[in-house]
Amino acid sequence: MKGESMAFTEVEGGVCAPSGFMAAGVACGLKESGKPDLCVLHSEVVCAAAGVFTTNAFRAAPVVVSMEHLGEGRLRAVVANSGNANAWTGRRGLEDAREMAEAAAGELGITAREVAVASTGVIGCYLDMEKVKRGISQAAASLSREGAGQAAEAIMTTDTFPKQWSLEADGFRVGGMAKGAGMISPRLATMLAFLTTDALVEPGELSNLLRRVADRTFNRITVDGCTSTNDMVVIMASGLSGRRVRGEELEGPLLALCSRLARLIVEDGEGATRFVTIRVREAADDREAEAAARAVADSPLVKTALFGGDANWGRVVQALGASLPDLDAAGVEVRFGGLAVARGGEPLGVEEGALREVMSSPRVDLEIDLGRGGGEAEVWTCDLSYDYVRINAEYHT
């Protein structure tokens, strides 16, 4: 991808690192824990903006509203809550999402269509709008350049740590925050991610760029194979650096930013103990390679074996064969940490000590050659532990 070799410098500030952005996170009472559960991100100028959203048929109300508001490619703010997904909530849910945008707009002195709305949490519960509006008022009153960390914390659900990063490129900055730990198998987006830049770029070019980058990053992660009703990635470009960029100039820094955020989501997968990179090569094409990698990454049998540190390659080839029924075993090779364990339909003798060392690492590389073309893809996932079951068994209650 163009721009990948560029040099970037990590800077502090998250979504507020680029010029023109302020943020705040507050506790408005949506979470029984009393932890922060609502944030506002605001730009002092109208921004070029773009978004990518879940392909789940049952898009949550805030997704529907944000898609409407991004129709002209301009935004000035995002308001997001955790603790309640406002999904499968019918007409009332749509009215509440629009009311969130109107409340934020009123506090910030902008129009409702300049506000994107996001929610995350339990599906099928109505928002307590009195709490939400009170939180929006509190957040708007406490906006600052130092508020990125509070905002990143306010969008967490089962996350164990806030996910934010920012960097400086050639005359401009990019920053971002994301949340997600479960119900992760994005199609065009991830759970929630908000990105900012002070580069000067046109909305159409920004939209095309975001889709390309999301496809290489957020669309290459899976924790449990479940595509959320609320997934979205929104980017705003203030242009206040004065640095006009072409898409390829912004692509490298944005790819680095989104790769970092996507990897943090996998590392924080619910109950995860291992970060797993699955690389498939020699597929018929890139699409086939991604399908194969995803089939292995989403297999509960593979994921539980990884949790146990067991190089059970039989589960890997089972997942491959199920996803590609015409696959010829003669061309297939499976490697754990560079150690070949199976090839051409037969097992290979591997020194057990070396294999145990590979499988005991918190980072495991699983490489697969299909022997039928030049396609390749990489997917990032995690193992499936006892804690994943516990967390999700208790999530609603």
What are the residue ranges spanned by the domains of the chain? 11-254, 275-394
pLDDT at 196: 98
Q: Is the pTM of this model over 0.95?
A: no
Mean pLDDT by 10 residues, the chain (397 residues): 64 98 98 96 98 94 98 97 96 98 98 98 96 98 98 94 97 97 69 96 96 95 86 97 93 97 91 94 98 96 96 96 96 97 95 93 97 97 91 74
Tell me how far apart the alpha carbons of residues 253 and 198 are, in angstroms, rounded to a whole number: 12
pLDDT at 212: 96
CA–CA distances in Å: residue 231 to residues 18, 87, 119, 196, 328: 24, 11, 9, 18, 36
Class of domain 11-254: alpha beta
pLDDT at 227: 84
pLDDT at 149: 98
Q: Which residues are catalytic?
A: 190
pLDDT at 188: 60
pLDDT at 268: 87
11-254 and 275-394, same CATH topology = no
Phi, psi (rounded to 5 degrees) for 378: -130, 135
pLDDT at 190: 58
Residue 330, Cβ density class (10 Å: 0-12 exposed, 13-18 middle, ≥19 buried): exposed
Tell me how far apart the alpha carbons of residues 374 and 282 are, in angstroms, rounded to a whole number: 5
pLDDT at 375: 98
Contact indicator for 79, 101 with CB cutoff of 8 Å: yes
Tell me how far apart the alpha carbons of residues 125 and 54 are, in angstroms, rounded to a whole number: 19
Name the CATH superfamily housing domain 275-394.
Answer: ArgJ beta chain, C-terminal domain (3.10.20.340)
